[in-house]
Amino acid sequence: MPELPDLEVIREYLAPRLVGKPVVSARVQRPLVVRNLLGGDLAGHLEGHHFVDVQRRGKFLLLPLEQGAHLVVNPMLAGRIRYGEPLGRDRVRDAIVLRFADGQELRYHDAKDMGKVYLAADLSQVPTMADLGPEATDPGLSLDAFRLRLRRHPGEIKGILTNQSFVAGIGNAYADEICWQAEIYPFRRRPSLDQEEVAGLYHAMREVLANAIDTLRSRVGDAIDVEIRDFLAVHGKTGEACPRCGTTISKVTRARRTTNFCRQCQPGLMVSRRPSSSQG
């Protein structure tokens, strides 16, 4: 799932390539994935127009058009954005293909059809966007502000970090990395954290995301449709050695979500083994 660092690097890559380039054709292949909230013909709203910027908000990529509307991509679990020379033929799960005046194309591909591409007059029309909290990397989100926001959330730390209305941009993978960096058991409940641990969590969030952006910036290159996760410390590393202490990395799967952590560095006990009885 593309998260804040992935999408930030995609945004940086696309901005100089897309801005100001007229769209010469827009083809929708999977109407289920592409939601035209403007009404009328989607191609008509895009063809002959250009994007004025490439922005990111949480796990959404935003492409504002010069006439004021936005194309918004929310890749969810499996969405991939590809940019470059035109492909010889369409792939089955290519949802939308934009061709630009310079001959390059942008494709949104979604193996699970779970993500969405919206064409909207304004961002408040895009489902869940209005509920987003501050960016996890927002310089304005101070430790004090983080503390205050955290008080409203009594649940488990990992669940809070991935709650987009708490802070925007963190998903399953980076939540595991942040908990590991902070040496906090992901299923600990927030009220059990002391002041120092909250500060540690905040600094871990900033550090993990900033470092991931740096790493991805140097490694992604033109292949923005390939997700790079091999550099992570614990997420996706079940059975490997913890980079800090060497203990074998544990895995817990609940509600189809896999959590990786180190039992040595992040001690804790799950309150309940049955996900249905856990309180949010």
Active site residues: 2-3, 59, 257
Among 55, 215, 238, 264, binds Zn ion (CB under 5 A): 264
- Count Cα neighbours of 196 within 13 Å in the Cβ-side half-sphere: 1
- Total site size for Zn ion, rule CB under 5 A: 7
The span of 60-68, 104-112, 139-147, 254-262 binding Zn ion (CB under 5 A) equals: 254-262
Closer of 141 and 242 to Zn ion (Cβ) = 242
Closer of 224 and 262 to Zn ion (Cβ) = 262
**Closest residue by Cα to residue 122 from 84, 180, 70, 62:** 70
Rounded CA separation 35/71 (Å):
10
Q: How far is the CB of 237 from Zn ion (least distance, A)?
A: 11
Site membership for Zn ion, residue 267 (CB under 5 A): no
- The answer to whether 53 and 69 have CB atoms below 8 angstroms apart is no
Among 244, 251, 254, 257, binds Zn ion (CB under 5 A): 244
Is the torsion defined by CA of 59, 78, 178, 229 positive or negative? negative
Site membership for Zn ion, residue 232 (CB under 5 A): no
The span of 20-28, 51-59, 116-124, 245-253 binding Zn ion (CB under 5 A) equals: 245-253
Site membership for Zn ion, residue 9 (CB under 5 A): no
Site membership for Zn ion, residue 32 (CB under 5 A): no
Q: How far is the CB of 3 from Zn ion (least distance, A)?
A: 23
Site membership for Zn ion, residue 271 (CB under 5 A): no
Q: How far is the CB of 236 from Zn ion (least distance, A)?
A: 16
Question: What are the C-alpha distances in Å from 71 to residues 27, 52, 162, 244?
Answer: 14, 11, 24, 42
Q: How far is the CB of 252 from Zn ion (least distance, A)?
A: 15
Among 119, 242, 259, 260, binds Zn ion (CB under 5 A): 242
Residues 99-106: contacts with CB within 8 Å, 24+ apart? 99/23, 99/24, 99/25, 99/26, 100/18, 100/21, 100/22, 100/23, 100/24, 101/21, 101/22, 101/23, 101/24, 102/21, 104/17, 104/21, 106/14, 106/18, 106/81, 106/82
Residue 101 CA to its chain's centroid (Å): 29
Q: How far is the CB of 250 from Zn ion (least distance, A)?
A: 10
**Which residues contribute to the site for Zn ion (CB under 5 A)?**
242, 244-245, 247, 262, 264-265
